[in-house]
């Protein structure tokens, strides 16, 4: 089976919804240590790719060239809420590279701090490209173009020199040939790549343990440590990545992608978990991720308590009355080779 039941919702004990998916746990060499479903399922990486998309800038000396700080690096890897703290970092990145808001090709949407939490947008609120959840990535893209004298008008085109460098870095970390990466266009207009879940986990195992990678190790170290040190900038108030990395106490680097993708890497173990929920349900994704981490033995009692809000739990209606249960229904089993 490519996919297996991960999370089940019941009402009065009667099954009502089942969320299917697959997951892979690998080491830095891509060996599959544990799995559910097909650990080699071809999966678009979505925003889990962002740390890898920042690699060309860091690898080419962009941090020293522009004087970028760890907080700004964390924001380049973010899918953020568009809070003031996020906009300030994007503005600083743009200022240092001499770029402008209107050069960013991500577009503009209502900040996630409203849409993610079903909050009304205040009347008269002004927002622009800097509030887009991918604006950190795009400000980093512009900085790379400025540093290397490249066109900033078409930096999201697949054949742009920046995107070719990103594709090369992504393939290297995944341990794949470039032509094995399936191409798609992400919601922010930038190229995105699909790869087997096991290869996505391999990439994050290397991000978590950068010394395992002889080519990009120093750059991976800067990016991974920036993410773990500033989790609130990687996502935002009340968001999953922030809570997960805080619970990881510096050991974990975590990133969520749209439509049901999450990756968590562990520095101390040199391993990573990549998970895909096929219907894209975020609540089921987070519950399954916490359950998988617990089955792997990555959680202590304190971490179980900290991550309990993201886990399977009793379902309450708007009046606070218990009406059902969300529970995990999978068990990890030993991994298999491709």
DSSP per residue over 200-229, as a string? HHHHHHHHHSGGG-TTTHHHHHHHHHHHHH
pLDDT of residue 117: 85
171-180, 296-305, 327-336: which range is least confident on average? Answer: 327-336
What's the CA dihedral at 176, 182, 185, 187 to 10 degrees? -80
At the top level of CATH, which class does the domain 4-334 belong to?
A: alpha beta
pLDDT of residue 125: 87
- Judge whether 270 and 27 are in contact, CB under 8 Å: yes
pLDDT tens for 56-87 read 999 999 999 999 999 999 999 999 999 999 99
pLDDT tens for 222-266 read 999 999 999 999 999 999 999 999 999 999 999 999 999 999 999
Question: What secondary structure does DSSP assign to 91-156, as a single string?
Answer: HHHHHHHT--GGG--S-----HHHHTTTPPPPTT----GGGSTTHHHHHHHHHHHHHHT--SSSTT
pLDDT tens for 9-50 read 999 999 999 999 999 999 999 999 999 999 999 999 999 999
Alpha-carbon span 205 to 183, nearest angstrom? 23
Alpha-carbon span 338 to 289, nearest angstrom? 22
- Mean pLDDT for 87-104 is 97
- The mean of the pLDDT values for the chain is 96
- CB hemisphere CA count around 242 (13 angstroms): 14
pLDDT of residue 338: 65
Question: What secondary structure does DSSP assign to 1-15, as a single string?
Answer: ---EEEEEEEETTEE
pLDDT tens for 153-197 read 999 999 999 999 999 999 999 999 999 999 999 999 999 999 999
- Judge whether 316 and 323 are in contact, CB under 8 Å: yes
State the distance between the two ends of the chain, measured CA to CA, in whole angstroms. Answer: 14
As a residue count, the chain comes to: 338
What residues form DSSP beta bridges with 17?
A: 9
**Where does residue 281 fall: left (phi above 0), alpha (psi -120 to 50 degrees), or beta otherwise?**
beta
Q: Delimit the domains of the chain by residue range.
A: 4-334
112 pLDDT exceeds 90?
Answer: no
- Judge whether 137 and 190 are in contact, CB under 8 Å: yes
144 pLDDT exceeds 70?
Answer: yes
pLDDT of residue 121: 87
Q: Which long-range contacts (CB under 8 A, 24 or more apart) does 111-116 make?
A: 111/81, 111/82, 111/83, 112/79, 112/80, 112/81, 112/82, 112/236, 112/239, 113/81, 113/82, 113/83, 113/236, 113/237, 116/81, 116/238, 116/239
Question: Nearest Cα to 53, choosing from 241, 243, 181?
Answer: 181
């Amino acid at each position: 089976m490519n996919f297996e039941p991960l999370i089940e919702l019941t009402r009065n004990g009667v099954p009502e919804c089942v969320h299917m998916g697959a997951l892979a746990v690998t080491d830095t060499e891509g060996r599959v240590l544990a799995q559910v479903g097909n650990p080699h399922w071809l999966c678009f990486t979505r925003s889990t790719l962002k740390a890898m998309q920042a690699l060309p800038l860091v690898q080419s000396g962009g941090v020293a060239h522009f004087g970028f700080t760890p907080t700004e690096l964390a924001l380049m890897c973010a899918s953020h809420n568009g809070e003031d703290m996020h906009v300030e970092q994007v503005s600083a990145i743009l200022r240092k590279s001499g770029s402008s808001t209107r050069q960013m090709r991500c577009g503009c949407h209502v900040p996630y701090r409203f849409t993610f939490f079903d909050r009304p947008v205040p009347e008269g609120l002004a927002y622009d490209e800097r509030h887009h959840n991918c604006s950190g990535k795009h400000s980093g893209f512009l900085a790379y173009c400025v540093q290397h004298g490249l066109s900033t008008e078409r930096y999201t085109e697949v054949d742009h020199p920046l995107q070719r460098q990103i594709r090369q870095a992504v393939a290297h970390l995944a341990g794949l040939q470039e032509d094995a990466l399936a191409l798609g266009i992400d919601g922010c207009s930038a190229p995105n790549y699909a790869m087997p879940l096991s290869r996505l986990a391999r990439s994050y195992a290397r991000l978590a343990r950068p010394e395992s990678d002889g080519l990009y190790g120093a750059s991976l170290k800067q990016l991974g440590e920036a993410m773990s040190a500033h989790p609130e900038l990687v996502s935002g108030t009340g968001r999953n990545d922030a809570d997960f990395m805080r619970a990881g106490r510096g050991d974990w680097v975590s990133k969520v992608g749209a439509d049901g993708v999450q990756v968590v890497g562990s520095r101390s173990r040199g391993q990573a978990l990549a998970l895909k929920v096929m219907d894209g349900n975020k609540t089921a994704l987070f519950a399954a991720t916490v359950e998988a981490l617990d089955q792997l033995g990555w959680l202590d009692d304190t971490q179980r308590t900290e991550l309990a809000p993201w886990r399977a739990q009793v379902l309450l209606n708007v009046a606070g009355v218990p009406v059902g249960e969300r529970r995990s229904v999978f068990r990890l089993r030993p991994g298999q080779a491709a």
